[in-house]
Amino acid sequence: MQIFSELYEFNEQLILTLKFSRASIDKIAQPFRFIPQILNGECKLNVHDSEVVHDYLENLGKTDALSQVDYLTERKTILKKYKEESFTDYKKYSSLYVKIFFLVGVMIAVLLA
């Protein structure tokens, strides 16, 4: 969830940077936790998610600024979809783990009683 959230925010930052100033991708990626790792090829995702990230990074910095803004704006909707899906999965599984650990705690309490 955090990776796609950061990638979405990174995309927003790139759009703003390309429209109003010029800075390197590495400089824009510094405040983020996972983006420098992704840019270095140290991606910790499953195969499908890794392909999405690879497709996103494939065209960065290959064309002029106006084309990059168009490309990043197009990818914004796709990244937003993945961000929302990963957040939904995170909420679903995190509540599941809480319930499982609560039940395990109750079972241990019953066994010790």
Encode pLDDT of 39-74 as tens digits. 777 767 777 777 777 777 787 777 777 788 888 888
Contacts of residue 52, defined as CB under 8 A and 6 or more positions apart, other chains included, come to 78, 82
Closest CA to 39 of 20, 61, 57: 57
pLDDT given at position 1: 59
State mean pLDDT over 7-13.
Answer: 82
CA distance 97 to 92: 9
pLDDT of 94 strictly over 70: yes
Q: Is the pLDDT of residue 109 over 80?
A: yes
